[in-house]
Copies of this chain bind each other. A is one copy, B any other.
Amino acid sequence: MDKLDRKILSVLQKNARASLQEVGAVVGLSASPCWGRIKKMEEAGVIEGYTVRLNPLALGLGDTVLVMVTLDSHSDNTLEKFGEVLASIPEVVEAHLVSGEYDYLLRVVVKDTRDYERLLREKLYKIRGIRHSQSSFVLRTLKKADLPLGV
């Protein structure tokens, strides 16, 4: 992981389909060493995969909701069960155990507020062990940036 590796990652973060020659041109290498470095970072687990950035609105997913959750009990069992249930709800795209006033922060993506109400009623409110939850709608996204690689 030297400066060149970080430069390569920075290019790939902006466009993961850039050809090796394009990557090489930016970082000042030819294609083959770039290829070797990328393979190495894939094997080392630095690169976890390649994905597409989608526009949720264009897909009919108009609302993102941040849900702050507090659990009743903090036993290993409750925690594990909660994780399992969340894994089975596709609208829950992120779930984090956090420090502070509440226990979890979920990011939920839905079509609209009606869809969210349905999700709350049919899925989230049915989860046992939730003491309290608070929903916060994303009204506007000001920034969505790549990881800071310092290059």
- A128 interface residue, CB < 8 Å from B? no
Decide: B143 and A95 in contact? CB cutoff 8 A. Answer: yes
- Chain A contacts with B in 97-151, Cβ cutoff 8 A: 97-101, 104-105, 109, 134-150
Decide: A148 and B90 in contact? CB cutoff 8 A. Answer: yes
Decide: A52 and B138 in contact? CB cutoff 8 A. Answer: no
Decide: A142 and B95 in contact? CB cutoff 8 A. Answer: yes
Decide: A136 and B98 in contact? CB cutoff 8 A. Answer: yes
Identical copies in the complex: 2
Interface size on A, residues (CB 8 A): 63
User: Quick one: which of B9, B100, B138, B150 contacts A98, CB cutoff 8 A?
Assistant: B138
Could you say which residues of chain B place their CB within 8 Å of the CB of A55?
Answer: 45-48
Could you say which residues of chain B place their CB within 8 Å of the CB of A53?
Answer: 47-51
User: Please, which residue of chain B has its CB at the minimum distance from the CB of A87?
Assistant: B143
Tell me how far the C-beta of A80 lies from the nearest C-beta in chain B, rounded to whole angstroms: 10
Decide: A145 and B14 in contact? CB cutoff 8 A. Answer: no
Decide: A86 and B51 in contact? CB cutoff 8 A. Answer: no
Could you say which residues of chain B place their CB within 8 Å of the CB of A100?
Answer: 134-137
